[in-house]
Every structure is written in structure tokens, then in C-alpha cells.
Amino acid sequence: MTTFDDRERSYEAKFAHDANLLFKAEARRNRLLGEWAAELLGKSGEDAKSYALTVVSSDFEQPGDDDVFRKLAGDLEGHADAATIRAKMAEMMGEAKKQVIDEAK
């Protein structure tokens, strides 16, 4: 085994680890967004949890964040505008990354 092989394995492991953390952070962000949106819609308890899961599952429709944005924009019409939703998406991504990293420690 050469140093190059060791280094290559190390980079591959780091890439896989980072991709896994990003996946978890995006799912966490979507759940947090779902909880925020549920509150705006006046949902609580199990109804709010169920709604948050629909936001998480909406992310599997196509790559990227547009599917989540479309879901929220449609559901929050009259409650939040596009700029507010985008800002909340960015805010929640930061919070989700922090939570996932803290849990990984």
C-alpha cells in the first residue's frame, strides 16, 4: 500500500462522510421548514408533524431545493411570500447543519 493509495482512500472517505452529512442536514432543514410552515398554517401536534413529513418527502421529487420551495410557496400562499420562504430556507439550513454536526460529535 502506498501513501498515494492511503491518501486516495482518505479523500474518498471524507467525500462520503461529507455527502452523508449534507443529506442529513437537508432532511433536517426540510423538517424544520415543515414545522415553521405548519405553525404559520395554524397546525399543531400530530397534524404539524405529519405536515412536516410531507415537506421532507417533497424533496425527493427532483434534485435541488426547488421542489421544496414550490411545496411551501403553494401551501403558504397568503401567509408568506417567496422572499420570506427563501430566507427561511437559508436560515434553517444553517441551523440544520449545526444540529447535524453537533449530533455527529
Q: What are the cell numbers at 21? A: 452529512
Give ∠ CA 59-61-66 in degrees, rounded to 5.
60
Q: What's this model's pTM, rounded to 2 decimal places?
A: 0.85
Q: In the chain, which ranges are continuous DSSP H helix?
A: 3-40, 45-58, 66-75, 82-104
Q: What are the cell numbers at 76? A: 403558504
Q: What's the rounded Cα separation, in Å, for the pair 81 and 73?
A: 7
Q: What's the rounded Cα separation, in Å, for the pair 38 and 71?
A: 12
CATH number of the domain enclosing 32:
1.10.790.20
Domains of the chain: total: 1
Question: Residue 79 sits in which domain range?
Answer: 3-104
pLDDT tens series, the chain, 105 aa: 678 777 888 888 888 888 888 889 999 999 999 999 999 999 999 999 999 999 999 988 777 888 999 999 999 999 999 999 999 999 999 999 999 989 877
